[in-house]
Chain A
Amino acid sequence: MSTPIFQVRDFNVRFHTPDGEVHAVKNANFDVHEGETLGVVGESGSGKSQLFLGAIGLIAGNGTVTGSVKYRGEELIGATQNRLNALRGSKITMIFQDPLTSLTPHMTIGTQVMEALRIHQRVPPAEAERRSIEILELVRIPEARRRMRQYPHELSGGMRQRVMIAMATVCGPDLLIADEPTTALDVTVQAQILDIMRDLQKELKTAIVMVSHDMGVIAGIAHRVQVMRNGEIVESGDVDKIFYEPQHAYTKALLNAMPRIDDPRHAGHLAASEAIVKAETLLTVNDLQVRFPIRTGGVLFPQVKDLRAVDGVSFSLLQGETLGVVGESGCGKSTLARAVLKLVPKSDGAVVWLGRDMGTLSDPDLRRLRKDLQIVFQDPLASLDPRMTIGHSISEPLKAQQPHLTRAQVREQVRDMMARVGLEPGWINRYPHEFSGGQNQRVGIARAMIVRPRLVVCDEAVSALDVSIQSQIVGLILKLQQEFGMAMIFISHDLSVVRQVSHRVMVLYLGRVVEMADRDTIYRDARHPYTRALIRAVPVPDPKLERAKARLILTGDLPSPLDSRAQLTFMKSRMIDDPDAVQYRPRLLEVAPGHLVAEHDPV
């Protein structure tokens, strides 16, 4: 922990764009010591990635760097390309966010892992293979020998990220720069990857730079932390100091903005209020099923298998109530929401809205019903037509539902709604690309709210936003709910946010409900092993809690939903070992009033 191996002094990165110069990194000064983990946090556009890309000479063509970057006393700025190439990939390595695009698709895993060894250390093939298998086992890839001959597309996201880590560590680097390595992964997989990185560091004594927007991830892994904003390092220090005694206002704001799974009301966060829930049942979903036919194997005679995206989900929703739906990617939570809104056709079961079965409605009736059912999407920019002004986008549901309104009336309502969601009414003629993500999400919310719906589905509505913006949008959604009293289905992979906004929470695993309870019960008294694993995997922005956490987590990835055995992962005692067999269906048991848990083997 003593000698600095990486010294950065007066370091600047500038980009020349058609719109003028962008000063992405301003006067950065810091050291990385041997064997430590430096956490770098900041929101998008804070320059945290460009700082390190620039420092090791991987910057885009229109960028220039100035200042000094020393690796073990050797100046890197202005070093020859050959020298940099010799360092990168062997002594200084990098892991990127997206494990699919950073692996070459046409080369086997083995070739790619061995490549670094062959190039940098001229290791003979047999030796390279042995060491590659070793390192793959070290990052806990099961059946490493077989995986060596597989291609990147055959591996899941979590496995690919492990391969990336293996590639980055196989040459025994001094410094490993990880740029948001877990952002694209599910929480349980993220927890595994972080665990691997912690162990690797203990074993190999590599210094790690962890770049992340997530304070929780940083709390669990970093020794020292530096906070970046607009290209400047605003604060740096030991992890405990940053988290428990932050000095800079921005650090405090960041910490306060983080939703916390252990404390939904911390720092004055608004949480869902019980007062608005009325006894009237709005929506009843009964044994809903959505199946997609998937062709497998055989070019001439493909087998068609049903992918059960939603497999028998039942729930009901009261007026003004928020149901949180959580689960990892591929668990069917978005499909469930779309099936409820009839945006994808259901295969079986019933959706009953105010006593009317939506399956029996004619198309025009359904279109009229959409006045009550609205949706807010994940990607704010993609969900707005780029060629329409935001005013037109917001007014679209209104014009579709109430064609008798005059243009002036529509305009009046749009301006009114814009003011309510915190947009300047004068911006009515602007286009989505002129706004930030948070502002566009406000437009999306205004569009959903303008017809005063009784049910709003928020499909990962805050997941794509930076934490500070995210907390504003969550606050806005809760405020609107108090004002209009609509019910919500709030879908998210982020359990902390779900705890904050929901009244009840439903946990989905491969299209089935594994547990459902009110929000406090499910976090304090989770019964199902999957729910527990999920909750434990969520990183909390509190270093002491993170260190004290028991590392009992799920191993491996979500199994393929096409494999019928997958459903019984938590009830292996009843499993028939045949991927096509009809398996036992775990029943939902009511362990306490309103607390449903799927049957599972005792833990």
Chain B
Amino acid sequence: MVTPFSGGKAELIEQAQEVQGRSLWVDARRRLFRNKAAMASIVLLGAIALMAILAPLLSAYSFDAQDYNVVSCSPDWWPDSTVICNAGGTHWFGTDYLGRDLFVRVLYGARVSLTVGLVATLVSLLIGVAYGAVAGFLGGRIDEFMMRFVDVLYSLPFIFFVIILMVIFHRSLFLLFIAIGAVEWLTMARIVRGQTLSIKQKEFIEAARAAGVGTFSIIRRHVIPNVVGPVIVYVTLTIPSVILAESFLSFLGLGVQEPLTSWGVLISDGANQLETAPWMLVFPAVFMAITLFCFNFIGDGLRDALDPKDR
């Protein structure tokens, strides 16, 4: 075909005529935006994350500054008047047993808990998706071997595993990521493998093979984009379970080290002081509960939005 225009111009005109398609992602996003519970959760979660990031700017106190004049003091507005002391003006959430401002500590706890949640989930995501997709797509003996390895890891008791790690390598935040991520990727790998097995049966995979596309290109271009839906849903449900796992470890004293804190540590401390200073438990617990709720609602909303049966 000869066009009177120069190549570039003709192409520009052609592209202007092309209709932009409505991809499945656009569809899913539209459905998600219509889901009120999920949208409210995203806003709320965003607010908590923002507060955690801006923590040093929001309060006059430092997270590790101790003030022995206000040890275990309630916030001014605390309804129970039998408390020992009031912390005064700017300690909105009261203080802990070392006289540290609880508000800023809850926000610092949020930093650690959310980071652990995100990073450990990301670790599990990368390992799990690659491992599961390869095992599922290659199938046969390789699949058997890879999945039996996963089964072996599954059967290791998680807590012993973490305790042993902590004893050998000493406690550190980094180790916590590794430990939790190392356990969570197993489930991810199983989910991705299952999805891959079902996608592998689809005709468009056969079409790609018939076109002469190589195995790893098929995994990258056809398999992974199509398992992303269920994976995203699982990720939003993994984050809260990782946060819970971290707080559980912290509760046992295996979590982050003082003076750094996390929601798990705060809840653990608060539980010890439940009778004398209930606010030490209430505030971190409420924050954590809200966060977990939000993640679950978002996960639900995403599942509804991505579910292909809807169409």
Interface residues of A (CB under 8 A from B): 338, 341, 343, 367-371, 373-375, 377-379, 382-390, 393, 396-397, 400-401, 408, 415-416, 425-431, 433-434, 444, 447, 451
Contacts and interface: CB of A to CB of B under 8 A. Distances in A.
Nearest to A395: B211
Contacts of B214: 367, 400
A430 B21 contact: yes
Contact of A386 (B7, B212, B226): B226
B202 A382 contact: yes
A343 B203 CA distance: 12
Given A385-B226, A397-B212, A447 B207 contact: yes
Given A385-B222, A397-B212, A433 B24 contact: yes
Given A426-B17, A431-B22, A387 B210 contact: no
Nearest to B199: A385
User: Which 7 A/B pairs are nearest by Cβ-Cβ distance?
Assistant: A370-B212, A430-B21, A397-B211, A383-B203, A367-B212, A400-B212, A385-B204
B227 to A, nearest CB: 10
Interface string B195-226: 00000001110111111111001000110011
A431 B18 contact: no
Contact of B21 (A341, A429, A451): A429
B20 interface: yes
Given A387-B225, A430-B19, A370 B24 contact: no
A530 B149 CA distance: 52
A397 B203 CA distance: 15
B207 A383 contact: yes
20 contacts: A341-B210, A343-B209, A343-B210, A367-B212, A384-B207, A385-B204, A385-B222, A386-B24, A387-B25, A387-B226, A396-B213, A401-B211, A415-B14, A426-B17, A427-B18, A430-B19, A431-B23, A434-B21, A434-B22, A451-B211
A425 B11 CA distance: 12
B139 to A, nearest CB: 13
Interface in B160-208: 202-204, 206-208
A7 B18 CA distance: 51
Given A396-B211, A447-B211, A377 B20 contact: no
Given A385-B226, A408-B7, 11 more contacts: A377-B207, A384-B207, A386-B24, A386-B226, A387-B24, A388-B221, A400-B217, A401-B212, A426-B17, A427-B19, A431-B22
B311 interface: yes
A369 B211 CA distance: 10
A378 B203 CA distance: 9
Interface string B223-234: 001100000000
A429 B26 CA distance: 14
B14 A425 contact: yes
Contacts of B217: 400
B197 to A, nearest CB: 16
B192 to A, nearest CB: 16
A389 to B, nearest CB: 6
Contacts of A425: 14, 17-18
Contacts of A341: 210
Nearest to A389: B21
A382 B24 contact: no
A334 to B, nearest CB: 11
Contact of B203 (A369, A379, A390, A401): A379
A368 B211 CA distance: 9
A386 to B, nearest CB: 6
A388 B7 CA distance: 27
A489 to B, nearest CB: 13
B20 A429 contact: yes
Nearest to B17: A426
B122 to A, nearest CB: 22
A370 B225 contact: no
Contacts of A378: 203
Contact of B210 (A373, A379, A415): A373
Contacts of B1: 416
A264 to B, nearest CB: 29
Nearest to A387: B225
Given A382-B204, A385-B204, A387-B226, A400 B22 contact: no
A384 B14 CA distance: 24
Contacts of B23: 387, 389, 431
A182 B221 CA distance: 39
Contacts of B204: 382-385, 393
A396 B208 contact: yes
Interface string B29-52: 000000000000000000000000
Contacts of A444: 207
Given A382-B202, A415-B14, A431 B211 contact: no
A426 B20 CA distance: 9
Interface centre among B21, B217, B308 (most CB of A within 10 A): B21
A243 B158 CA distance: 74
B212 A368 contact: yes
B213 A400 contact: yes
Nearest to A415: B14
Nearest to B310: A18
Contacts of A427: 18-19, 21
Contacts of B11: 408
Nearest to A369: B212
Contacts of B213: 367, 396-397, 400
A295 B7 CA distance: 61
Contacts of A369: 212
Contacts of A382: 202-204
Interface in B266-311: 308, 311
Nearest to A386: B24
Nearest to B1: A416
Contacts of B211: 370, 374, 396-397, 400-401, 447, 451
Contacts of B25: 387
A547 B311 CA distance: 43
A371 B210 CA distance: 9
A447 B208 CA distance: 10
Nearest to B16: A426
Nearest to A419: B1
Contact of A343 (B7, B20, B206, B308): B206
Nearest to A341: B210
Contacts of A390: 21
A375 B19 contact: no
A387 B1 CA distance: 31
B217 to A, nearest CB: 8
A207 to B, nearest CB: 37
Contacts of B17: 425-426
A569 to B, nearest CB: 31
Nearest to A368: B212
A273 B11 CA distance: 38
Contacts of B311: 433
A375 B18 CA distance: 28
Nearest to B203: A383
Contacts of A374: 210-211
Given A387-B23, A408-B11, A429 B18 contact: yes
A368 B214 CA distance: 11
A429 B19 contact: yes
